[in-house]
Structures are given as C-alpha cells and as structure tokens.
C-alpha cells in the first residue's frame, strides 16, 4: 500500500496547489477581471462625460459670443476693434476666444496675435460648424503647443464667419487621472475584500474537508480513536457523522479482534500441549511456547520456514502432509529428538472460504509412558511380593493336609513359618497403605518441638541390638549446639530407622555407620553415612521409587517401599532427601528439613 496518495492524470486539478487556494482563486480572478473591465469602462466614460459637459458649456459660450460679435460686425465694426474687445476679455475668462472671418482669416484672438496666425478655414471644428451649425474637436494647438478642446459656431449675422472658443484639456486630464486613481484604489480595496471573503468562504468549505483528511490519515495510521468535529454545514456534518460511525465500527471490530487475539495468545501460551499452525504449503505461521520447548525451536526463527525444517523430523512432517493432502485426522505417537521423547501428535486441516491452515498438536506423553511402565512394574512387584508368601503358605498348608499335621514338630515349625509369612503380608499391606496416604497428602503430621540430636540418638538406639549382632560401629555427632526443631517426631524417627536399617544390611562386618546433625540458617541437615558396598550411579536415579531394589538388595528381605515412604515423609515436612554413593566405599543419605513447620504451599507433595 502506498504511503501517500497521488492523483492520476484523469483527475489532476486545473489549478495546482491546496484545495483552499484552488477554490478561492477562480472567484478572485473572475471578480478582478470583471472589476478591471468595469474600471476601464467607468474611466473612459468619465472622460467622455466630462468632455461632453465641457463641450456643452463651450457651445453656450460660443453661441453668446457669436451673437455679440455678429451684431458688432454687422454694424460695421472693423476687425481691429473686435480684436481689442476680445483681448480685453483675456484677464476675465480662462477660455481662449477666436473670431474667424468668412475667408478663414483670424479677426481676433485673446491669446495670440491674429496677424501672425495662419488661415483657419481648414480647421475641423470650423469646417464642421459651417457645415452642421456646430463643430468640435480636440487637438494640440499649433500656436500654444497645448491640447485644447475647440467648439465653434457660425456667426449668423456674418455669413461664413465663425466664433470659436477653446479650453486646454490639462484640467480634464488631471480630473480624469484623479478619477482613474480613485477607481483603481476602490478596485484594490474591493479586490482585497473579495480575496478575504473568498479565502474565508473557501476556508469554511475546506476546513471540514481538511479535518476529514487529517482524521482519515490518522485512521490509516492505526489511530481508530480519531473523530471528526461537528461542522456547521449540513452536508459536511452528515459526512462527518458517517465517518465517525465508520471509525466507531472499526474500533469496535478492532477491539473485538484484539480481545480474541489476546485470548488466543493466552490460551496458546498456557496450553501444555504444543501447537503449530502452518499455511497450506506447510510453512510455519505460529507456534506456542510449549511447541518451542518440544521442538527446541524459537518461534521468531521458525515463522515462514517449512515445518520439516523446524521440527527436524520426517515422521512429524509426513503426518502434517497427510492431513494437508486430504486425510481428515492424522494421529500417531512419535519418538522425537535425541532423547527420544514420545510425542502424541495430531495433525488436521482448519479451513474456511478465505484460507486453509494446517494445525499440529503435540503432547508429550513420555511421562505417561514412564508412569505406565512404573505402574506395570508396580503391579508386577506387588504381585511378586504377594505371591511369594502366599505360595509359601499354600505349600505349607498342603503339606500339613497331606499328613504332616500329625507330626507335632513339623506342624509347630510350619505354623511359625505361616505366621511369619502373614506378618510379612501385613507389613507389605501397611506399607502400601502408608505410602498411598503420603502420596495423596492425606497423612496429617503431628508437629512437636524436639532436640534434633536427641531425635537422632533415640532412633539409633532402637537399632543398637542389630548393630551389635552385625558387629558394626555406630556413632552420633553434632556440629555445635543446635536449636530445637518443629517436626513430626514419630514420622521422622521412622525415616531414620529405615535409613539406619538399610545401612546395617549393606555394611559388612567391621564396618561403621555415622549419624551427623548440623544446622545452617533455618534448616537442619541429618546425614546417615556407612562404609558399605555402595550403590551404582545408574541405580541411584531410581532408588526412591516404589519396590525398587538394587541388585545387591534383591537377595535381602524387605518390601522395597522403605525409601519411597521416607522420601514422601521428608517432602511432607517441606524438605528433601538425597543420596551420594561410591561403589565399594559406602553411601551417604542426606535429609534436609526446615526448622519450623512450613506453609502448606511450600510442602513438596
């Protein structure tokens, strides 16, 4: 999309420049043209009117002069005397007076000497007066080198004689120039007023359009809150109302889309399953955080790339291609990556009339597979642990039924063994129930304040007879004075007894078991260290699982639930339990618990 609109040749404006100028300029030019023509007309008419009025005055004067001079000449007054009479008027009037005889000779002139003046029979005003009874003309005087207005009338009493009066046109021209000046001043003022009025009117027209243009650009730039101010003009007000309605609808739609997008982003971000969206060609358009983790790829780098390049797995890509090629629903469990993580993958197509998208959903079921394996092992272990004593009990009962019951010594021995197997079954069931309660969080701990050294010492003393029978050495030590701690004394003592009992089982004659207690900050650490056979690193990983026994423990008695129960008891206290071991050198089990009762959300279930 272009950043700025540019008109084509078909709609280019006649007058370049802003719209306000293009609206005002034609009206101003039209008014100036009309005013100029009117001024020229009025100026020229002013001269004509002024000359016509002056001509009428001169005609009246010439007529009066012709009657006066005609009487004198008809009474026989010589031209010289007429000259004296005309010359005497030069100081009283500003008009030039000339009397021309029938032959064109100048009889008298109040400005020049008649004797030196040339024949006037061919003067236009003289010829016109003799022909039409009145004549006029304007020209430069040959005698005075000035432009004059001449008016001549025939003298009725002397045939062929003419009386002529004239005035210089300097005053006329000055008056006309003044009229021209004031006409142009008035025109300039009128033009200035018209320019101001046209500019104002154009502004009233262009203002709403400019406001509309500015707000339209704001909307195009993404500001959907832009609104047009109401206009006083009805048409522009309707356009502004329509524009504001449009932007309100756009804003509402945009907000709805943003809200939907934010909800989708929130769902995708919090979704535990990985989601990858591709176009019809298999190019990645979107992937959520879970998909980034499962595929070890960043969304910013993956967008626009083929799905096979992002997933780096041809089985996943083939599943997507199958969906895009028409299969309604494709699903498969695929082992992905170097760690062979199991991904339950679903691929399908989402489409409408505008676009067609590929949707890949990835669910990590590795933990489910592991839990399924643990479940099967648990069932197998429970079955084994139950089957062994039940098989022994069944064999002994059958033996007794076969006649051994009559042998008192055999019967007594078998009954003791049956009771032992029943006790073993009861212990197994109690351990299973105890572990189930701990795992479900249904076990209530009874917190009391105890001395940690005394707690460890009492647990060790309970197993002192076993220590002596196994010919081992056991000691308890503490790093300085320790403050009391708040724990479930019975449960924590159960953990210590289990750890010490295991140490006794796997430590050869002459070995040592050392129990150490220390505190740091707000935690207490209890270590059970032995010099036994040790545990291989690969077995340490699963040591706290239910029914798990190391190879060396397979031949020993026990349910394999002790360490699992110990782990859950420690976690219920908000602590941790760990192991460090070297094969052939011994093992160290370390319990880390808080000194005070933890809040419920801090306990590790």
Return the CATH fold of 271-364: Beta-Lactamase (3.30.450)
Region 205-233 average pLDDT: 79
How confident is the model at residue 331, as a pLDDT? 81
How confident is the model at residue 529, as a pLDDT? 93
In this prediction, what percent of the chain has a pLDDT beyond 70? 92
Longest dimension (CA), the chain: 211
Structure tokens at 62: 């010439």
Structure tokens at 399: 């033996």
For domain 369-438, the CATH architecture is: Orthogonal Bundle (1.10)
Is residue 106 within 8 Å of 83, Cβ to Cβ? no
The region of weakest confidence among 117-126, 207-216, 345-354, 594-603 is 594-603
The pLDDT of residue 480 is above 70 = yes
The pLDDT of residue 1 is above 80 = no
Q: β-pairing, 473-478 with 512-520?
A: parallel
How confident is the model at residue 35, as a pLDDT? 80
Q: Which region holds residue 165: left if phi is over 0, alpha if psi is between -120 and 50, else beta?
A: beta
What is the tens place of the pLDDT at every residue in 60-86? 988 888 888 888 888 888 888 888 888
How confident is the model at residue 554, as a pLDDT? 42
How confident is the model at residue 91, as a pLDDT? 60
Query: What is the 8-class DSSP label of residue 92?
Result: T
- What number of CA atoms fall less than 13 Å from residue 500's CA on the CB side? 29
Phi/psi at 406 (nearest 5 deg)? -80, -20
The pLDDT of residue 551 is above 60 = no
Superfamily of domain 14-221: PAS domain (3.30.450.20)
Q: Which of 452, 272, 278 is nearest to 357 (CA)?
A: 278
How confident is the model at residue 292, as a pLDDT? 86
How confident is the model at residue 604, as a pLDDT? 47
The pLDDT of residue 605 is above 70 = no
Region 97-108 average pLDDT: 89
pLDDT: which is higher, 281 or 141? 281
pTM, whole model, 2 decimals?
0.45
Model confidence at 312, pLDDT cuts 50, 70, 90, reads: confident
Model confidence at 293, pLDDT cuts 50, 70, 90, reads: confident
Q: What angle do CA 143, 146, 149 make, to 5 degrees?
A: 100
Phi/psi at 474 (nearest 5 deg)? -135, 135
The region of weakest confidence among 99-108, 303-312, 375-384 is 375-384
Region 522-546 average pLDDT: 87
The pLDDT of residue 367 is above 90 = no
Q: How far apart are CA 541 and CA 464, in angstroms?
A: 30
Is residue 124 within 8 Å of 137, Cβ to Cβ? yes
Structure tokens at 249: 């609808």
Domain 444-602 - what CATH class?
alpha beta
What is the tens place of the pLDDT at every residue in 491-510? 899 899 889 988 998 999 99
pLDDT: which is higher, 57 or 326? 57
Structure tokens at 48: 């004509």
Q: Do the two domains 271-364 and 369-438 of this chain adopt the same fold?
A: no
In this prediction, what percent of the chain has a pLDDT beyond 90? 13
How confident is the model at residue 31, as a pLDDT? 82
The pLDDT of residue 144 is above 50 = yes
How confident is the model at residue 2, as a pLDDT? 46
How confident is the model at residue 600, as a pLDDT? 58
How confident is the model at residue 142, as a pLDDT? 67
Helix, strand, coil shares, percent, the chain, to 5 = 55, 20, 30
Is residue 535 within 8 Å of 579, Cβ to Cβ? yes
pLDDT: which is higher, 127 or 406? 127
Query: What is the 8-class DSSP label of residue 176?
Result: H
Structure tokens at 23: 């609206």
CA 71 from centroid of its chain's CA atoms: 110
How confident is the model at residue 92, as a pLDDT? 60
How confident is the model at residue 338, as a pLDDT? 73
Within 519-588, where are the H helices? 537-540, 562-572
Is residue 106 within 8 Å of 164, Cβ to Cβ? no
Q: How far apart are CA 190 and CA 32, in angstroms?
A: 9
Q: How far apart are CA 494 and CA 32, in angstroms?
A: 113
Structure tokens at 177: 């120039």
What is the tens place of the pLDDT at every residue in 338-358? 777 888 888 888 887 788 888
Q: How far apart are CA 553 and CA 543, in angstroms?
A: 11
Within 75-138, where are the H helices? 79-88, 124-132
In the predicted model, what is the mean pLDDT of the chain? 82
Coil, helix or strand for 406?
Answer: helix
The region of weakest confidence among 199-213, 292-306, 403-417, 523-537 is 199-213
The pLDDT of residue 16 is above 60 = no
In sequence order, the 6+-apart residues with CB closer than 8 A to the CB of 355 are 279, 280
The pLDDT of residue 558 is above 70 = no
Strands (E) across 299-453 are located at 330-336, 341-351, 356-364, 447-450
Q: How far apart are CA 485 and CA 597, in angstroms?
A: 9
Q: Where are the domains of the chain?
A: 14-221, 271-364, 369-438, 444-602
The pLDDT of residue 436 is above 90 = no
């Amino acid at each position: 999309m272009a950043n700025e609109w540019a008109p084509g040749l078909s709609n280019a404006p006649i007058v370049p420049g802003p719209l306000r100028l293009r609206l005002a300029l034609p009206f101003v030019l039209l008014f100036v043209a009309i005013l100029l023509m009117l001024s020229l007309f009025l100026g020229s008419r002013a001269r004509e009117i002024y000359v016509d009025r002056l001509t009428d005055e001169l005609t009246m004067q010439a007529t009066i002069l012709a009657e006066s001079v005609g009487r004198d000449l008809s009474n026989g007054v010589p031209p010289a005397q007429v000259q004296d009479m005309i010359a005497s008027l030069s100081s009283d009037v500003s008009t030039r007076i000339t009397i021309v005889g029938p032959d064109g000779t100048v009889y008298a002139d109040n400005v020049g000497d008649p004797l030196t003046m040339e024949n006037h029979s061919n003067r236009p005003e003289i010829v016109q007066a003799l022909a039409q009874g009145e004549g006029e003309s304007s020209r430069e005087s040959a005698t005075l080198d000035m432009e004059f207005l001449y008016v001549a009338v025939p003298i009725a009493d002397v045939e062929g004689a003419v009386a002529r009066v004239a005035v210089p046109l300097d005053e006329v021209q000055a008056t006309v120039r003044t009229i021209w000046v004031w006409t142009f001043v008035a025109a300039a003022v009128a033009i200035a007023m018209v320019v101001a009025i046209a500019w104002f009117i154009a502004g009233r027209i262009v203002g709403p359009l400019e406001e509309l243009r500015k707000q339209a650009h704001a909307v195009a730039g993404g500001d959907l809150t832009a609104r047009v101010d109401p206009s006083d003009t009805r048409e522009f007000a309707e356009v502004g109302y329509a524009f504001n309605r449009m932007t309100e609808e756009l804003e509402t739609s945009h907000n709805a889309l943003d809200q939907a997008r934010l909800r989708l982003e929130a769902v995708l971000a919090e979704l535990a399953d990985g989601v990858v969206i591709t176009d019809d060609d298999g190019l990645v358009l979107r992937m959520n955080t879970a998909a980034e983790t499962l595929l070890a790829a960043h969304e910013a780098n993956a967008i626009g790339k083929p799905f096979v390049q992002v997933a780096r797995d041809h089985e996943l890509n083939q599943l997507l291609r199958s969906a895009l090629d028409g299969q309604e629903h494709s699903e498969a469990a695929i082992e992905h990556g170097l760690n062979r993580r199991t991904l339950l993958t679903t691929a399908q197509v989402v489409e409408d009339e505008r676009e067609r998208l590929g949707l890949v959903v990835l669910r990590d079921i590795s933990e489910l597979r592991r839990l399924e394996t643990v479940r099967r092992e648990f069932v197998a272990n429970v079955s084994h642990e139950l089957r062994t004593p039940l098989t022994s009990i069944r064999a002994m009962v059958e033996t007794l039924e076969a006649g051994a019951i009559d042998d008192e010594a055999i019967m007594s021995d078998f009954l003791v063994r049956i009771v032992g197997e029943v006790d073993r079954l009861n212990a197994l069931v109690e351990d299973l129930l105890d572990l189930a309660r701990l795992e479900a969080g249904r076990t209530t701990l009874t917190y009391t304040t105890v001395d940690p050294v005394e707690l460890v010492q009492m647990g060790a003393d309970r197993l002192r007879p076993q220590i002596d029978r196994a010919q081992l050495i056991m000691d308890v030590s503490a790093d300085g004075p320790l403050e009391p701690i708040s724990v479930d004394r019975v449960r924590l003592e159960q953990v210590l007894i289990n750890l010490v009992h295991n140490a006794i089982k796997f430590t050869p004659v002459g070995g040592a078991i050392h129990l150490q207690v220390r505190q740091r900050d707000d935690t207490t650490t209890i270590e059970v260290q032995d010099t036994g056979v040790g545990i291989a690193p690969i077995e340490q990983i699963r040591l706290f699982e239910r029914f798990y026994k190391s190879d060396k423990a397979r031949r020993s008695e026990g349910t394999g639930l002790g360490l699992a129960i110990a782990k859950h008891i420690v976690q219920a206290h908000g602590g941790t339990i760990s192991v460090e071991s070297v094969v052939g050198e011994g093992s160290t089990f370390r319990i880390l618990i808080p000194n005070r009762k933890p809040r419920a959300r801090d306990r590790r279930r």
